[in-house]
Amino acid sequence: MTVTVSVPAPLRTCCGGAAELSVSAATVRDVLDQLERSYPSLYRSVCDETGAVRRHVNLFVNTAHVRDREGLETGLEPGDIVTILPAVSGG
């Protein structure tokens, strides 16, 4: 099924300037696998080399944070929007 990945402004240079990407995926993990294959620089900005989502990056499915669903195993429906956002943190 096709879902949309919303890319935050600081990471758009990793995917040719695109703000949104169309991806065929059944789970959030599938989305990340697709990104790793098609946009490795974008993937590396979201996940570290162990495959873990970086501490200060949040992933949402529509309006729900994946940690409040089933994490990376959260299932997707056609037309869902997976949003990548930097966390509100820093100093």
Partner 1 sequence: MPERIILCIGTRKGLFVAESSASRRRFTLRGPFGPGVSVYSVLIDTRDTPRLYASSCNAFFGMKVLRSTDLGKSFGETQSAPVFPKDDGRALANIWSLEAGDGTEDLWCGVEPASLFRSQDGGDSWEMVSGISNHPHARQWQPGAGGLCLHTIVRDGDRVHLGISTGGHYLSEDGGRSFSASNQGVGAGFVPDPYPEFGQCVHKIARARNAPGRLYIQNHGGWDDRPGIGVLRSDDHGHTWRSIAEGLPSDFGFPIVVHPHNADMVYVMPLEPMTRTCPGGAPAVWRSEDGGGSWQPLTRGLPEKDSYFTVQRDAMTIDELASPALYFGTTTGQLWIGRDSGQQWSRLFTSLPPIHCVKVAVV
> Applying CB under 8 A, which residues contact partner 1?
10-11, 44-46, 48-52, 54-57, 86-87, 89-90
CB closer to partner 1 out of 10 and 78: 10
Residue nearer to partner 1 on the CB measure, 3 or 14: 14
Least Å distance between CB 83 and partner 1?
A: 15
Tell me the C-alpha to C-alpha distance, in Å, between residue 28 and each of 59, 75, 77: 9, 7, 11
The strand pairing partners of 4, in sequence order, are 22, 81
Nearer to partner 1, 36 or 75 (CB): 36
Task: State the nearest-atom distance from the C-beta of 2 to partner 1, in Å.
Answer: 26
Joined tokens for residue 13: 């240079």
The Cα 35–Cα 25 span in angstroms is 11
Q: Please give the distance of CA 31 from its chain centroid, rounded to a whole number.
A: 7
Q: How far is the CB of 56 from partner 1 (least distance, A)?
A: 4
Q: What is the CA radius of gyration of the chain?
A: 12
